[in-house]
């Protein structure tokens, strides 16, 4: 792999990982092939025995997928990347690769819903237990550690309340106890935050979100040291098969080329919207790490390049008022997806967090008046006008 250390982020985003074919194509080629032809029987044997590098079968070797993996690895500053069929497949493969029955995970309570289900309901069936703790309370992480703890898992900023975890402090805690810190870097992307440079061991992604950035494909990725990602995690990919398709890899590759530009614009719009929302009479509270009122604003300033494209806010009047604001929009898409060029608006209490009890919701701080917006790339004046529901009585 080319050493990309000497090049800047944007150069890597446009160039890293490309290997041109004999056709001299300028844009990256898509290789929709399941298998590969060998020169002779000896070469086939050498490939299968891992004695010679090269393609074997697209469940675990494909040039387009490798191109995406090498580009994302260069952006995150990791040795190795494995692309997966979805963000959930990335998290699942990481856990299956690194853990065995009897091992223990300490995880943030503020995680993507399917991640909670995966840890609670699925890994538990294989005797891998998880203790959930408060993302921002480092003591609660320390207290939850057990002799069998192998992995600490978190997302920062969290969804939908945008709490920010201290990655360096948690990495130190993890390493003092011989554990690995895994960070889901979906919300910031490497354009805004590089967990590996802050001490995290492994980064997981839902490429479905900002890496694609236009809501077209489902995909995921794992980035980290060759030892783990190229070892036990690759083994899960090779034999378990949660593989990314070459076409999706190509879409994500092209997404990475504009990642930095898009993230800057998402941040511009989100910052403007957050400050504007704070001034609206009908708004009780705004959750955005870029606001001085945010409890971890200083940490976010230190740890992130900027503050991201997601803004949550609570309107006065509970669910009825929140639904009125959502239903009176004309351009925002009412959907729970995020990280798209198109702005999306959602009511967490009745959608993403609708299946937990009202008590659990209240404990998590997700009130009935809460609205989450994934701020897109439209004109900010149009987005402000689209929240006309805030002005109605
Ligand atoms: C969407 C999401 C996932 C899951 O990704 P899929 O691609 O939908 O499987 C994981 N973590 C976070 C933070 C997400 O937003």
Q: What is the mean pLDDT of residues 3-31?
A: 94
* Structure token digits, residue 7: 């090049």
pTM for the predicted model, two decimal places: 0.96
Mean pLDDT of the chain: 96
20 has pLDDT over 50:
yes
> Which residue among 93, 159, 186, 243 is best mutated to probe the pocket of ligand 1, counting the most ligand atoms within 8 A of its Cβ?
186
225 has pLDDT over 90:
yes
Share of the chain above pLDDT 90, in %: 93
Residue nearest to atom 11 of ligand 1 (CA): 112
User: Which tens digit of pLDDT belongs to each residue from 33-78?
Assistant: 999 999 999 999 999 998 999 999 999 999 999 999 999 999 999 9
What is the reported pLDDT for 97? 98
Using alpha carbons, list the distances in angstroms from residue 72 to 249, 260, 390.
11, 13, 40
Structural domain spans, the chain: 4-257, 260-391
Give the pLDDT band (50/70/90) at residue 93. Answer: very high
Q: How far apart are the first and last CA of the chain?
A: 60
Q: Give backbone dihedrals phi and psi of 132, rounded to 5 degrees, phi first.
A: -100, 135
What is the reported pLDDT for 182? 98
User: Which tens digit of pLDDT belongs to each residue from 135-166?
Assistant: 999 999 999 999 999 999 999 999 999 999 99
Q: What is the mean pLDDT of residues 366-381?
A: 97
Q: What's the CA-to-centroid distance between 378 and ligand 1, angstroms?
A: 23
Ligand 1 atom, smallest distance to 155 CA: 13
Pick the CATH number of 260-391 from 3.40.30.10, 3.90.180.10, 3.90.1150.10, 3.40.190.10: 3.90.1150.10
* Structure token digits, residue 277: 């929302």
1 has pLDDT over 50:
no
Alpha-carbon gap, residue 44 to 41, rounded angstroms:
5
361 has pLDDT over 90:
no
Helix or strand or coil: residue 174? helix
204 has pLDDT over 50:
yes
The CATH number of the structural domain formed by 4-257 is 3.40.640.10
Give the pLDDT band (50/70/90) at residue 353. Answer: confident
Give the pLDDT band (50/70/90) at residue 392. Answer: low
What is the reported pLDDT for 360? 81
What is the reported pLDDT for 393? 53
> Which residue among 112, 188, 220 is best mutated to probe the pocket of ligand 1, counting the most ligand atoms within 8 A of its Cβ?
112
């Amino acid at each position: 792999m080319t050493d990309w250390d000497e090049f800047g982020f944007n150069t890597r985003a446009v160039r890293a990982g490309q290997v041109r074919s004999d056709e001299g194509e300028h844009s990256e080629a898509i290789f929709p092939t399941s298998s590969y032809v060998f020169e002779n029987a000896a070469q086939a044997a050498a490939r299968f025995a891992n004695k010679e590098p090269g393609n074997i079968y697209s469940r675990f070797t494909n040039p387009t997928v490798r191109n995406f993996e090498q580009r994302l690895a260069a952006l995150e500053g990791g040795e190795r990347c494995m692309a997966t069929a979805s963000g959930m497949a990335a998290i699942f493969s990481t856990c299956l690769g690194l853990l065995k029955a009897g091992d223990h995970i300490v995880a943030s309570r503020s995680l993507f819903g399917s991640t909670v289900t995966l840890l609670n309901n699925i890994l538990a069936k294989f005797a891998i237990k998880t203790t959930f703790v408060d993302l921002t309370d480092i003591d609660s992480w320390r207290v939850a550690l057990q002799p069998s703890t192998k992995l600490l898992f978190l997302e920062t900023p969290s969804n939908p309340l945008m709490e920010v975890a201290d990655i360096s402090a948690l990495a130190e805690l993890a390493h003092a106890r011989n554990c690995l810190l895994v960070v889901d870097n979906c919300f910031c992307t490497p354009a805004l935050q590089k967990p590996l440079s802050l001490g995290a061991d492994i980064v997981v992604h839902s490429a479905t979100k900002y890496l694609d950035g236009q809501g077209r494909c489902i995909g995921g990725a794992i980035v980290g040291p060759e030892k783990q990602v190229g070892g036990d995690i690759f083994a899960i990919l090779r034999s378990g098969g949660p593989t990314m398709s070459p076409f999706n890899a190509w879409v994500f590759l092209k997404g990475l080329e504009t990642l930095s530009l898009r993230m800057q614009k998402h941040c511009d719009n989100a910052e403007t919207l957050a400050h504007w929302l704070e001034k609206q009479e009908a708004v009780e509270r705004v959750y955005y790490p870029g606001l001085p009122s945010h409890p971890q604003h200083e940490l976010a300033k230190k740890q992130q390049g900027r503050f991201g494209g997601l803004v949550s806010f609570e309107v006065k009047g509970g669910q009825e008022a929140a639904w009125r604001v959502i239903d009176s929009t004309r351009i925002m898409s009412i959907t729970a997806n995020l990280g798209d060029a198109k702005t999306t608006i959602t009511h967490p209490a009745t959608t993403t967090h609708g299946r937990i009890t009202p008590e659990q919701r209240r404990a998590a701080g997700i009130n009935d008046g809460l609205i989450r917006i994934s701020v897109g790339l439209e004109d900010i004046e149009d987005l402000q006008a689209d929240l006309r529901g805030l002005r109605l009585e």
